[in-house]
């Protein structure tokens, strides 16, 4: 689940990056990006927020996985928890990208 979550993190980064480039243009992407720009809107803005949310939770997940492993405490509960984290994050991404209210928050919780 840790490796799958790393792949999901990469997917978040690619989707957010490309959607920002589509909205702002590839000249902006290739620039130094020093100038102030308006916030991203629509799906691009939601993908940026979903990425930020993933990056906020991912270090805690990584630490938990390593702590469980280092302590030799892998159980079906820890496997279930890791699977639940990954599955919920996987479902959360399209829900947030397409602006699905309520259900997105339920999945996050």
Which candidate, 35, 3, 37, places its Cα nearest to that of 20?
37
Helices 76-97 & 42-70, crossing angle to 10 degrees?
A: 170
Q: Is the pLDDT of residue 5 over 90?
A: yes
Query: What are 38-75's pLDDT values in tens digits?
Result: 999 999 999 999 999 999 999 999 999 999 999 999 99
**Domain ranges for the chain:** 2-108
The H-assigned helical ranges of the chain are 2-24, 26-30, 42-70, 76-97, 103-108
pTM as predicted? 0.90
Q: Is the pLDDT of residue 20 over 90?
A: yes
């Amino acid at each position: 689940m840790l490796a799958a979550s790393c792949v999901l993190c990469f997917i978040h980064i690619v989707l957010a990056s490309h959607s920002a480039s589509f909205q702002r243009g590839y000249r902006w992407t290739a620039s130094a990006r020093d100038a102030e720009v308006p916030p991203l809107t629509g799906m691009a803005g939601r993908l940026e927020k979903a990425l930020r949310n993933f990056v906020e939770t991912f270090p805690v997940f990584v630490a938990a996985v390593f702590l469980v492993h280092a302590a030799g405490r892998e159980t079906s509960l820890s496997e279930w928890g890791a699977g639940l984290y990954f599955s919920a994050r996987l479902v959360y991404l399209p829900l947030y990208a397409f602006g699905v209210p309520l259900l997105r928050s339920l999945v996050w919780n």
